[in-house]
Every structure is written in structure tokens, then in C-alpha cells.
Structure 1
Amino acid sequence: MLIPHPLLGLRDVQEFVYLGDASLMDRPDWQAEHAAEAFHDYTYLRDNPAGEHRELWFHEQGDRSWLVVTRDTRTHEILKAELARPRREGERA
């Protein structure tokens, strides 16, 4: 499988580490009123979609960037890949 890295072009999947559902970037507020319940859901409740799914990938063997990859879980077709966060001006790859 090839991942279309937004800065480096097509890269082999073996350069990356899969880190799970991209929604995990949205951690609950630990100071919220129902933080325990929110963290329980965040930690243990996961969707297992058949179809389009946003995933977090780390480019370990490359520029060490984090990507959000939208992939069809039925066919493994990659629909979109974007940086998990934009690079800051002057930030090194």
C-alpha cells in the first residue's frame, strides 16, 4: 500500500506506524464535570467501520510527521492524506 504523503509524495506503508483512529487526537478535558465517563469512552469505546475511516499514521522512517489518512477499510483505498497539524513557519521536517 502506498500513502500519498502531502509533502513527500507517494511513500511505502512500511515507512509508517499505524496508531489507530484519528479521533483519538481529541482527548477529553480532564477537568470537565464528567471527565471519568468521558475518558472511559475515549479509552474503551471504538467504532469499527466498514468503509471510510480516518486514521492516524506516524512517518517513523521518514520526516517523522503525523498524518491523518482517510482510508476505505473494505478495499484499503486511500482517499486522502493530510498533516495532522500544519507545520509552523521555520519548523524543520
Structure 2
Amino acid sequence: MRISCPLCGARDLREFTYLGDDTYLARPELGDADGYDAYLHLRDNPAGETLELWYHGLGCGAWLRVRRDTRSHEIIDVALARAEGAA
């Protein structure tokens, strides 16, 4: 699988680290123990289109939001996470 980094162009998957679903960006308030437990441990596992966070650690170091179909691994869209108000 190749991911097209907006800064570096198409790169091999091995240059990236998968963080998880982009809901990781919505961290619960400090002191919300139940919300934080769910944030850390409860994840959906959808079949189909998802929005994920990837880190280009062996490249430019950018955080990316990758829209991907989990059934076919097709990359639909890639954008910088910071440019969308995240990370």
C-alpha cells in the first residue's frame, strides 16, 4: 500500500505509523474517568470507509488524516491533520 503524503508525494506504507481512528483527536476533559476509559479502550471496527491518523515518521514528520476503505485498503484521500484544525 502506498500513501500519498501532501508534502512528499507517494511513499511506501513502511514510512508511516498508524495511530488509529481520527477520534483520537477528540480527547475527553481531564477528570472525566469514564470518558477517558472509553477514549482509550473502546473502538469501532467498521467495514468500509474510515478516517484515520497516520504519522510520516520516516519522511517529513507530518500527521496525516487518511480516508481509507478498510475492505479494499483503497486510499481515498490524504490531507495534513494540522491543516484541518487537528493535531
TM-score, normalised relative to structure 1? 0.84
Q: Return the letter of the residue paired with 1:21.
A: D
RMSD after superposition: 1.0
CA distance in 2, matches of 1:9, 1:63: 10
Say how many residue pairs are matched. 83
Q: Deviations over 1:25-83 (max 9, x none)?
A: 1101115xxx1111111111100000001111110110011101110000000011111
In structure 1, runs of 5+ residues without a counterpart are 87-93
State the Cα distance separating 1:7 from its structure 2 match: 1.8
Q: Which residue of 2 aligns with 1:45?
A: 42
In structure 2, runs of 5+ residues without a counterpart are none
Runs of 4+ in 1 over 6 A off after TM superposition: none
- Taking only the aligned residue pairs, the percentage that are identical comes to 52
Q: Which has the larger radius of gyration?
A: 1
TM-score, normalised relative to structure 2? 0.89
